[in-house]
Structure 1
Amino acid sequence: MGSAATMAMTVLCFTKSNKLTSTFRTLPRLTCSSLSNSPFKFNISFSPSNPKPKPDPKPEPENDDDGPLMIPWIVRGEDGNFKLSSEPPPSFLKDMAIAKTGTKKSDKIQTTKIKKKTEKETKVHAVAQPQYSKAARRFYNENFKDSGGERLSKVLAASGVASRRSCEELIFEGKVTVNGSVCNTPQTKVDPSKDIIYVNGSRLPKRQPHKVYFALNKPKGYICSSGEKESKSVISLFDDYLSRWDKKHAGVPPPRLFTVGRLDVATTGLLIVTNDGDFAQKLSHPSSNFSKEYIATVDGLVHKRHLMAISEGTTIEGVHCVPDSVELLPNMPNAQRARLRIVVHDGRKHEVRELVKSAGLEIYSLKRVRIGGFRLPPDLGLGKYIELNPTNLKALGGKVNKVDS
């Protein structure tokens, strides 16, 4: 370095009166010396290694006169003019919420619509039937589709061939042919109007008799059997009806009639006769729970203990049967015997007779007067019958379709 240099600095200061003044100050001469034998000498001083820390500047006191810091929002008021508000507008908060979740309402609605559309298309594709050619549908209908016919044994029984059990035996013995082939299965579905059916070499008529329903006032001494060997079957009381059948229904075989349930040979009263097996099954099955009312004429005097004993029931075939009601009817003029009105629903064999017998009484005569909601007409004589109309069948819990007579 050359000789010592002299520097000058001009410091500008602003006074409280904002007047600009200038002052010149001359810095002292600096002398530097080196360790070598250089002719130049420098005098350099360093600050101490551990200088005293300077105290932190005191924080300026906060001025709380104006309250907390407030960010003003310019919003439009109800009067339509702009004003300052301390709260952001609702639209801004809504946009911030949407931006935070990352889902817009329109996108959510669109997603829901697409999902519903996809589910609907899937359901339609699952339900829609496959399309086949006319030839394929015709082949299926002729060879595989159920024609809606009835069981072979049922058709034979309805045509008057024999009882259903006897018809099943004929089928098992190979005495029935369908369309030229021997059929050994009673459950085979057939349609007499389309299929050619032979029984023991005789052609079964194409037309089937319509369903018929009768209410019979059964007399004493007749049994509820449709066998040909029985001389006094209740079915024989319909001989006059069957003899007139051909005149009214030409070409149609007469119906094979049978009784719904049974009354013993000594019991009289209401008995249903029909050729409708389904109706008979429904009416006679225990699950139908139809009540049956009987009038029992007994020998001897009836006391309260007898009524109590009958109402407590008795065991029949291992089942304890209890009647629905027991009532002692008023004495009739010129009647020497007491009458009991007994209502049951189990339908066990000789149920009413066993109930009266268990009470220590003896039945002189027994008559059934009601089944379900149908009561035996009082003017219907013994051995007479009437054909039931739809109202009567409804009272019995039955329902039939309209047929051509």
Structure 2
Amino acid sequence: MAAIATAVAAATSAFTSFNLTRATPYTRRHIRTFIASSSSPNEFNITFAPPKPKPKPEPEPANPINPNLDNTELSGQLYIPWIVRDEKGNLTLQSTPPARLLHDMANASTGKKKKKGKEIASKAATKVGPTAEPKHSKAARRFYNENFRDPPQRLAKVLAASGVASRRSSEELIFQGRVTVNGSVCKTPQTKVDPARDIIYVNGNRLPKKLPSKVYLALNKPKGYICSSGEKETKSVMALFDDFIKSWDKRHPGQPKPRLYTVGRLDVATTGLIIVTNDGEFAHQISHPSSNLSKEYIATIDGEVHKRHLIAICEGTVIDGVHCTPDNVELLPGQPDKPRPRLRIVVHEGRNHEVRELVKNAGLQLRALKRIRIGGFRLPADLALGKHVELNQAQLKALGWKS
């Protein structure tokens, strides 16, 4: 170390004396050159460790899955093998997914995943079974009863809706003291009752709590049947619904059988459309003259029909002290299968035998009469005689039902 210090001191003194003789300053490069060029009697043997040799790259192993596949094709990519059965039925490996899988993935529909909690709850519900209905508070029950429960109805109306008898016959049963409400005999048909709450007995038989569902039927009435629900009638229109009443328990279990009746009437010789129901409000609204529903009839005439006959029908006639005129009268064109002349007559009052009286007053002889339309509902062309069809909401609306 002493020798190194002596050499450094000698170099410093030489640099100082040399710097005084020249005005140009020396840079670091000049200092290094000067120090390297200076001769020193001492020689330094400084050696450094050789650099650590770099490891030789090992050769890439062959593809363990498919030795025939070149690794250069998979450089920098993740190889996922696909086992595919070829046309001969042999299993082979390939680097791309099958075309069928790609097609199914492209056409697959996406959806939201169900939460685990909901899945567990649904599984538990299927295992345990249906749970009991939750108990509501008194305020909630009171609100439901005041706003959604059917209001109490007159006793005679409830008996008629339950199928006991007609409205008038039910009133007679009440007057005779054969009906009890909550253990007391009731002789007032206007008494308001609720079948779901009140205990009603008729001739010692308990009235069911549930009233039957509302029924709305359209019947193609055949000739020779009377529109009466009386049990004494041997050939009543109600006899055409025996199969419907017998199958009621299968379609509506737990409900009493309905008592059906016709909306309005057709005489025994008239055929065609007639409505049958167990809804009194509906029947009253459709049959009342204030509904102003038009009814269309087809009248088959014996003999020839002239213009004077049409004018006489249009002028109308007096029925029960009221002058009645039709809305429309038209002579239909003849058809090969129907040689007799036919008239299309539209009325809206619907008085008893109105169409027959109009034809008779014109001096024509009526052979057959058929009703084909009430309001906006027309008798289906494929409905055979004696058959019926249930009406849907659109058809009821066409009849003028506003409920």
Alignment TM-score, normalising by the size of structure 1:
0.62
**Compared with structure 1, are the counterparts of its residues 313 and 323 closer, same or farther at alpha carbon in structure 2 (3 Å cutoff)?**
same
Task: Give the alignment partner of residue 371 of structure 2, picking from 359, 362, 368.
Answer: 368
Amino acid at match of 2:216: Y
The separation in 1 between residues aligned to 2:402 and 2:319, in whole angstroms, is 32
Cα deviations across residues 103-133 of structure 1 (Å, max 9, x unaligned)?
xxxxxxxxxxxxxxxxxxxxxxxxxxxxxxx
Match among 254, 257, 273 for residue 257 of structure 2: 254
- Displacement of 1:247 after TM fit? 1.8
Per the alignment, residue 185 of structure 1 pairs with 188
Structure 2: gaps spanning 5 or more residues: 1-137
2 CA distance for matches of 1:248 and 1:338? 45
Q: How many residues align?
A: 261
Mapping of 1:1-400 within 5 angstroms?
148-400=151-403
For the 8 Å contact 1:390–1:399, the answer to whether it is kept is no
Q: 2:5 is matched with which residue?
A: none
Q: 2:274 corresponds to which letter in structure 1?
A: L
Contact 1:175 1:200 in 2 (8 A): yes
Partner amino acid, structure 2, of 1:222? Y
Amino acid at match of 2:377: F
Q: What is the aligned-residue RMSD (CA, Å)?
A: 2.1
- Distance in 2, Cα, partners of 1:324 & 1:376: 19
Q: In the alignment, residue 330 of structure 1 is paired with which amino acid?
A: P
Per-residue deviation, 1:147: 8.2
Select the structure that is richer in helix: 2
Instruction: Output the amino acid matched with 1:252.
Output: Q
Name the CA distance, whole Å, in 2 between partners of 1:176 and 1:363: 49
Assess if the C-alpha contact under 8 Å between 1:205 and 1:251 holds in 2. Answer: no
Query: Displacement of 1:318 after TM fit?
Result: 0.8
Cα distance in 1 between the residues matched to 2:252 and 2:331: 49
SS in 2 for 1:363: strand
Moved more, 333-342 or 213-222: 333-342
The alpha-carbon deviation at position 309 of structure 1 amounts to 0.3
Q: Partner of 2:305: helix, strand, or coil? A: coil
CA displacement, residues 326-360 of structure 1 (integer Å, 9 cap, x when unaligned):
00000011322100000001111110000000000
C-alpha distance in 1 between matches for 2:198 and 2:251:
25
The structure whose Rg is larger is 1
CA distance in 2, matches of 1:148, 1:370: 34
Residue ranges of structure 1 left out of the alignment (5+ in a row)? 1-134, 401-405
SS at match of 2:224: coil
CA distance, structure 2, for counterparts of residue 313 and residue 305 of structure 1: 13
Structure 2 length as normaliser, TM-score?
Answer: 0.63
- Greater CA drift, 328-337 or 297-306: 328-337
> SS of 1:153's equivalent?
helix
- Offset at 1:246? 1.3
> What per-residue deviation string (whole Å, max 9, x for no partner) do you get for residues 73-97 of structure 1?
xxxxxxxxxxxxxxxxxxxxxxxxx
Percent identity among equivalent residues?
74
